[in-house]
């Protein structure tokens, strides 16, 4: 994604405000970008558009607010442009019908995880650590359940970019130099979202750099690398506490991690230590690349 487009999208998501002209242009530009990506992929694989039955395009979430008097979620990335440029039927707008029926509109992946990983006589949870962390609970004999647990990489990456100028903390190298500040961690965990009952969903509308800076007002003496270590612990702890709320099960309890967070060795280490009764691994080890 071009840096200028990424910056404009980040600002839109952060502020939650844009002119109709700006919103429409971003919608168009993303559609063109997605279409080019599809055509380049087809060319690299020596495939024709006729070989593809359809494209499913979620788009870019710019605001997610499934609460309040008028709940809604908004994604952009014009599916009409994708269909026109590729010649392939394109399906989009996946979330809003769920909200219309009283749901959260998120996460989307539990049905996919169920098809791949649900096993008889066991409990498997697939943990997707993207910007936000979400879990798919695959319990034999019971309906699949999925919901968000809280921040994933979002705060970790934002703090890294602000202080190091890098988009992410590769191999948790920076976080590993810090120590968790327990008082700050408790303060972050006081956020009301963490005590809400499932199913629930959240996004950068809540867990943003603005939110973090507000929380840090009374912790200005905490070094930046210690804040980074604490943010990794926040992600791990909020995930583990949600899993600990599940009914105890005497059968195998397996946690399969995917998304960018699966590549964070410190985060994976913390999850393993916080969940001693679970077998923690990645989806790659079970046939599905974490990306």
Judge whether 228 and 172 are in contact, CB under 8 Å: no
Ramachandran bin of 119, using left for φ above 0, alpha for ψ from -120 to 50, beta for the remaining angles: beta
CA 208 → CA 10, 23, 37, 251, distances in Å? Answer: 11, 21, 29, 38
Mean pLDDT of 193-212: 93
Distances (CA, A) of 172 to 188, 205, 230, 265, 275: 20, 25, 12, 7, 20
pLDDT exceeds cutoff 70 at 72? yes
pLDDT tens profile 227-266: 999 999 999 999 999 999 988 765 668 999 999 999 999 9
Quick count: other Cβ atoms within 10 Å of Cβ 23? 15
CA angle, 99 as apex, 96 and 101 as ends, to 5°? 115
pLDDT tens-digit map of 26-64: 999 999 999 999 999 999 999 999 999 999 999 999 999
> What pLDDT is recorded for position 224?
98
* Distance between CA atoms of residues 136 and 110, nearest Å: 5
Q: What is the mean pLDDT of residues 185-195?
A: 98
What pLDDT was estimated at residue 252?
64
pLDDT tens-digit series, residues 80-119? 999 999 999 999 999 999 999 998 898 888 989 999 998 8
Q: What is the mean pLDDT of the chain?
A: 94
Residue 272 has pLDDT above 70, yes or no: yes
Domain annotation for the chain: domains and CATH numbers: 3-100 (3.30.420.40), 110-286 (3.30.420.40)
- Nearest-CA neighbor of 290 among 93, 94, 90, 152? 152
CA–CA separation, 12 vs 23, rounded Å? 9
pLDDT at 67 over 80: yes
Q: Are residues 147 and 198 in contact, defined by beta-carbon separation less than 8 angstroms?
A: yes
């Amino acid at each position: 994604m071009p840096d200028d487009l990424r910056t404009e999208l980040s600002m839109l998501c952060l502020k939650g405000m844009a002119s109709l002209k700006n919103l429409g242009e971003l919608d168009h530009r993303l559609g063109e970008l997605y279409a080019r990506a599809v055509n380049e992929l087809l060319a690299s694989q020596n495939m024709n558009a006729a070989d593809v039955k359809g494209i499913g395009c979620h788009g870019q979430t710019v605001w997610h607010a499934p609460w309040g008097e008028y709940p809604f979620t908004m994604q952009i990335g014009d599916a009409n442009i994708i269909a026109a440029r590729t010649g392939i039927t394109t399906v989009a707008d996946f979330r809003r019908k769920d909200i219309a029926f009283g749901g959260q509109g998120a996460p989307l992946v539990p049905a996919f995880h169920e098809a791949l990983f649900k096993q008889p006589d066991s409990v498997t949870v697939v943990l997707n650590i993207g910007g936000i962390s979400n879990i798919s609970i695959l319990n034999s004999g019971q309906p699949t359940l999925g919901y968000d647990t809280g921040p994933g990489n979002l705060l970790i990456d934002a703090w890294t970019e602000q202080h190091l100028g890098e988009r992410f903390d590769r191999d948790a190298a920076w976080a590993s130099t810090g120590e968790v500040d327990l008082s700050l961690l408790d303060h972050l965990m006081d956020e009301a979202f963490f005590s809400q009952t499932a199913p629930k969903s959240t996004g950068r509308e809540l867990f943003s750099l603005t939110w973090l800076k507000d929380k840090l007002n009374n912790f200005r003496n905490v070094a930046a690398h210690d804040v980074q270590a604490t943010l990794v612990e926040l992600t791990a702890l909020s995930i583990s506490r949600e899993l600990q709320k599940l009914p105890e099960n005497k059968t195998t309890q397996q946690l399969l991690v995917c998304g960018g967070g699966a590549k964070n060795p410190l985060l994976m280490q913390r999850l393993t230590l916080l969940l001693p009764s679970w077998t923690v691994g990645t989806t790659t080890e079970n046939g599905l690349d974490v990306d």
